[in-house]
Amino acid sequence: MQKIKIGVVGSAGYTAGELLRILLNHPNVEIVFVHSSSNAGNHVSEVHSGLIGETDLFFTSELALHAIDALFLCSAHGDSKKFIEANEIPQKVKIIDLSTDYRAKDKNHDFVYGLPELYKEAIKQAQHVANPGCFATGIEIALLPLASKALLKDEVHIHAITGSTGAGVKPSPTLHFSWRESNISMYNAFTHRHLQEIRQSINELQPDFNQRLNLIPLRGDFTRGIYVTAYTKCDLSLEEAYALYRSYYKGAAFTFVTDINPDLKQVVNTNKVILYLEKHGDKLLIVSIIDNLLKGASGQAVQNMNLMFGLDEKTGLILKAIGF
């Protein structure tokens, strides 16, 4: 197979670094350019130090858009739309956007929401894909099996703790080691920007769902990973719930349902989602864990690229977790 020629825009952040790490080892990919105006002329490994010895690529300010088959947009939220509007991108170029700009369904764009566990067949036919958010990915995968059977009949309570890389590479007061280490804090309670896309995905399977999604996001004192616990009223027994979840994710490439209480290191550095269930009275508890930079961002973006180009969706994504 002829290699897929790739361009990456917004290449200095954590998600871009992880994307490049995956693409450099992908057997069906050739990276044509890595765009960054602020780092033009610098070696990629000067910014992404984990890539020392793995690439001779340099950042460029030039956009060779006619030389590529696919474009990854790793820009800040709001910048992807500006980039697309400001540049003449050939129609043949498939776009995978990692920002929030095109996740909401809208008649003014043709982006498909890039959650393979929900839209796999549509992604295969898509020219443009909006990669889901990290919290959204973990939470949606936790709730979709219930929505598929219209079993979300009450409000859902969600706690989700994320690593510091979820806030991006730009320094801020809550990212300093002296603040973050041995610390925990809450932010954007009940108002997190991913709630819109979470509800949109649930309504795709259960259109009449209108209950509250009570999301409490937490900053953890670790670098990467998201640990989600969600609970809601549910009439299913634990055995029935496990049967439903295993049936729903039977064909999923990276989503695994376990009856052993998992820990976060089992997914860090992988594109996996691990789900675990418990039943307490009339409440069903769902644990969902992901790596925020991989299944929550760059890994899922490559999974979507694989689907868009007719490849096995696991290609380039068989990665070893840091768990022992």
* CA distances in angstroms from 176 to 65, 79, 212, 293, listed in the order given: 37, 26, 34, 19
Sign of CA dihedral 164, 170, 175, 178: positive
The per-residue pLDDT for range 87-112, each reduced to its tens digit, is: 999 999 999 999 999 999 999 999 99
89, 49, 50: which is closest to 69 by C-alpha? 89
19, 28, 93, 117: which is closest to 310 by C-alpha? 28
The per-residue pLDDT for range 68-86, each reduced to its tens digit, is: 999 999 988 889 999 999 9
Write a three-state SS string for 251-319. Answer: CCCCEEEECCCCCHHHCCCCCCEEEEEEEECCEEEEEEEECCCHHHHHHHHHHHHHHHCCCCCCCCCCC
Does the domain at 134-292 match CATH 3.30.360.10? Answer given as yes
pTM of this structure: 0.95
The per-residue pLDDT for range 40-51, each reduced to its tens digit, is: 889 999 989 899
Which residues neighbour 80 within 8 Å (Cβ) at sequence distance 6 or greater?
73, 97, 98, 99, 101, 102
What is the average pLDDT across 46-60? Answer: 92
pLDDT over 70, % of the chain: 98
The kind and range of the H/E element at 218 are strand 213-219
Whether residue 134 lies in the annotated active site: yes
Q: What is the pLDDT of residue 100?
A: 93
State in Å, rounded, how far the first CA of the chain is from the last one.
36
Location of structure tokens 């049967």: 243
Model confidence at 180, pLDDT cuts 50, 70, 90, reads confident
Q: What is the pLDDT of residue 324?
A: 75
What the block records as the tokens of 28 is: 């069906």
CA of residue 208 relative to chain centroid, distance? 26
Burial group, residue 49, by CB count within 10 angstroms (0-12, 13-18, 19+) = exposed
Segments making up each domain of the chain, as ranges: 4-131+295-308, 134-292
Q: What is the pLDDT of residue 171?
A: 62
Collapsed DSSP state (helix, strand, coil) of residue 207: coil
Burial group, residue 36, by CB count within 10 angstroms (0-12, 13-18, 19+) = buried
Q: Which of 134, 158, 287, 289 is catalytic?
A: 134
The per-residue pLDDT for range 4-28, each reduced to its tens digit, is: 999 999 877 889 999 999 999 999 9
225 in the Ramachandran plot: left (φ > 0), alpha (ψ -120 to 50) or beta?
left
Does the domain at 4-131+295-308 match CATH 3.40.50.720? Answer given as yes
